[in-house]
Structures are given as structure tokens and as C-alpha cells.
Amino acid sequence: MKINQPVGPSGWAPFFIRVTLGAYFVLAGLSKLEALAAFIQQVKGFGVLPDNASSLYATLLPYAEVALGGFLVLGLWTTLMGLLSALMLLSFVFAFGFFPGHHDLFNKDIILLAASVSLMYSGPGLYSWDNIRKVPSSS
């Protein structure tokens, strides 16, 4: 093994990113759904959006996270899900900023945003519905 060569097939990298990012979104959405009323109040408290828009955003966000995460885990419509997750994460960065608290190095959503953009460029990687659905081209 050479230290400057990959240790395995390049298709594993987007697979690991996709499944990890998808699982994160599923778990994040489920945790918000457990205490939805409190989450709605928390989003309103940020003061980024008007109250009605905050309520709508906070109500829909957990469901969107679970659905988007599920699609990512399955590797279904990966490029689109990468775009949607990138837009969602951009909204988080906008709401919290690059440096959300004095104890945080920087906003973790920036790293997740990089993972989303990576999936847009790399595709789903190994073992995905997108790869199963590909129709072989007839020459």
C-alpha cells in the first residue's frame, strides 16, 4: 500500500458520505418531531423570519429532513437530494452564522454543506437505487 494512493475503490467515498449525511438528517428530523411545539418556539425565538413564516418553516423542516435523509440513505435522486440538502444547510448557516457560539469553532453545518455539494458532484457511489435504476445503454 502506498500512502498517496486510495485504499479502495473510489465509489466507496460518496457511499459513506451519502449514508452518513442521510442518517444525520433522519435522526435530526425525528428528534425535532419528538418535541415539535418546543422546536417551533425555538425557531420563532431566533427572530430571523416573521412568526408565521417561522411556524411554517419549523413545522415542515423535520418532515423534510426525514424524507431527504431517507432518500440519501437509499441513494435515490442523489444529485437532487444533494442540492436540496445544500439549500437547507445554507438556510441554517444563514440563521446561525459562521460562528454560532463562543464555544464552537465554527458552524458544523458548513461541513455538512460541503458533504452535500460533494454528492452533487460525485453521485451516489456504490450500492444505491440510482445505480440500480440505470438502464444500460445499447450501442
Contact 29, 66 (CB under 8 A): yes
Give the other-Cβ count within 10 Å of 74's Cβ. 19
pLDDT digit string, tens, across residues 26-84: 999 999 999 999 999 999 998 888 999 999 999 999 999 999 999 999 999 999 999 99
Does the pLDDT at position 112 exceed 90?
yes
Q: So where are the chain's domains?
A: 12-126
Average of per-residue pLDDT values in the chain: 91
pLDDT of residue 15: 96
pLDDT of residue 96: 78
11, three cell numbers? 465509489
Give the residue, 108 or 87, on which the prediction is more confident: 87
pLDDT of residue 135: 62
